[in-house]
Amino acid sequence: MSLLTSAFVAVCALQAAPKATDLQALKPKLDAISKSFHGRLGYYVKRLDNGEEIGIRDTERFPSASTIKTAIMVECFRQIERGELAWDERLETPPADKRSESMWVAFLAEGVKINIDGLIHLMMNVSDNTATVMLADRVGINSIEQLMLSWGLRDTACTIHVDEKDNLRLYRLRQIFAN
């Protein structure tokens, strides 16, 4: 079972929970999923109405994988709202050697222009990793990380960068998504 499949199963278990007045009733179900997973799995659940928390390996670091795409999308929305980015702004596809393997954009000719709306669609709906890198480059890693800090995600990092001379995070993201 993949990590994303396990996460989906855990979310389904959460949604199917009976009126969960007590997360402790849910914990054995999630623990069973965790124990049957062949790999490294952790989870953390917090009830916002009463602060109750449960988790396994909930203080350990895990690669964010495609979950980082949500923060990138939200930062795009914020910059559009502030007038710093426009839905119809078009970005050029990078040279082939600067792209991640992806579902769609990786197969386009260098220099093809795609608007922000299309890139967000590709990133979120078909999980296109080249679109992810293009959007992260455009909105800026610092902006994405500041957004995550504002959400209280102090231990979450966006492993992307805009300019390889400035930092190596984009290279790391390309390595992660190339597999």
Per-residue pLDDT tens digits for 78-136: 999 999 999 999 999 988 777 666 667 877 888 899 999 999 999 999 988 889 989 99
- Strand-pair category, 53-56 with 43-46: antiparallel
Q: Are 69 and 102 within one domain?
A: yes
Which residue segment(s) compose the domain that 75 sits in?
65-177
Residue with tokens 């902006």: 143
Q: Are 121 and 38 within one domain?
A: no
Q: Are 72 and 130 within one domain?
A: yes
Q: Are 28 and 114 within one domain?
A: no
Residue with tokens 């970005």: 91
Q: Are 33 and 109 within one domain?
A: no
Per-residue pLDDT tens digits for 127-179: 888 899 899 999 998 899 899 889 888 777 776 643 443 334 444 555 555 54
Q: Are 102 and 141 within one domain?
A: yes
Q: Are 84 and 167 within one domain?
A: yes
Q: Are 81 and 140 within one domain?
A: yes
Residue 5's pLDDT band, with cuts at 50, 70 and 90, is very low
Q: Are 48 and 100 within one domain?
A: no
Query: Of 29, 56, 83, at which residue does a domain stop?
Result: 56
**How far is residue 6's CA from residue 128's CA, in Å, rounded to a whole number?**
21
Query: Of 56, 73, 98, at which residue does a domain stop?
Result: 56
Q: Are 78 and 47 within one domain?
A: no
CATH for 131: 3.40.710.10
Q: Are 97 and 31 within one domain?
A: no
Distances (CA, A) of 166 to 58, 141, 143, 161: 32, 11, 16, 8
Instruction: Please state the domain count of the chain.
Output: 2
Query: Of 38, 56, 74, at which residue does a domain stop?
Result: 56
Q: Are 10 and 85 within one domain?
A: no
